[in-house]
Structure 1
């Protein structure tokens, strides 16, 4: 499992959703380049402070893994939420960050305080931790 520091460094190259999708692409037999494009638009709650990109990407990963079995998908989505919400108070980007990045003045505060680098790695890590457990994923 990547540390929050490693996630923060990689976060400079990929957005939150892309980091989740890239991590599990090979494990799920998916095309990483296409998943990176898919994840591009999910950053920052789709750039409106809506659902967190790391959370959305995790839901997409679960769809890739269990999308042909509704019962398994629903059970694993419920399990993901249970694990994720043990440490995260919300899946809404503007609630996680404490500011609405769709508003220029609040985005400026987020940038000035370095909140993307301070807060987002935790949401990414929590999504990865939950998916690792569900998918029995080990990157070694």
Structure 2
């Protein structure tokens, strides 16, 4: 199974976007999936504030596993990730992507009514994994 498919499956299986993206890279860098799930647990839904998309946060954590010992490289790959994600998806801010603020009860209700968590968010998870793989493979 590809990382993209695995991440989407994890997300659809009730893990957060941040957990789904981060976890599919974790074992390659010596971090167990169980620990990756725990680390990513507070970063979903734009850090619970509808800020930076949790799929992006998970991707940055994965990039940190690979490049974390080099600050300049971390800055470079982080900037590149955000540039690519924004180019593909118009934004990397959760509330802008969803068109509602899921840090509020009204926003969650709107997202549920529009089926965004099932129809839109998996696309963001897939996009984040794809961009992360591309950066790591270069």
TM-score, with structure 1 as normaliser: 0.86
Report the alpha carbon displacement of residue 11 of structure 1 after superposing the two structures with TM. Answer: 2.1
Report the alpha carbon displacement of residue 108 of structure 1 after superposing the two structures with TM. Answer: 0.8
Which residue does the alignment assign to 1:105? 106
Which residue does the alignment assign to 2:64? 63
Which residue does the alignment assign to 1:30? 31
Q: Within 5 A, what are the aligned runs for 1:1-140?
A: 1=2, 2=4, 7=8, 10-136=11-137
**SS of residue in 2 equivalent to 1:27:** helix
Give the distance between the partners of 1:77 and 1:46, measured in 2 at CA: 17
Report the alpha carbon displacement of residue 81 of structure 1 after superposing the two structures with TM. Answer: 2.1
Report the alpha carbon displacement of residue 77 of structure 1 after superposing the two structures with TM. Answer: 1.7
Richer in helix (by share):
2
Give the distance between the partners of 2:84 and 2:107, measured in 1 at CA: 30
Give the distance between the partners of 1:105 and 1:74, measured in 2 at CA: 36
Give the distance between the partners of 1:73 and 1:105, measured in 2 at CA: 37
Specify every segment of 5 or more residues in structure 2 that has no aligned partner in the other structure, as ranges.
none
Q: Any conservation in 2 of the 1:8–1:117 contact (CA below 8 Å)? A: no
Report the alpha carbon displacement of residue 10 of structure 1 after superposing the two structures with TM. Answer: 4.1
Specify every segment of 5 or more residues in structure 1 that has no aligned partner in the other structure, as ranges.
none
TM-score, with structure 2 as normaliser: 0.87
> Residue 80 and residue 9 in structure 1: after superposition, are their counterparts in 2 closer, same or farther (change >3 A)?
closer
Give the distance between the partners of 1:82 and 1:114, measured in 2 at CA: 27
Give the distance between the partners of 1:66 and 1:136, measured in 2 at CA: 12
Q: Any conservation in 1 of the 2:85–2:91 contact (CA below 8 Å)? A: no
CA RMSD of aligned residues (A): 2.1
Count of residues in Structure 1 that have an aligned counterpart in Structure 2: 136
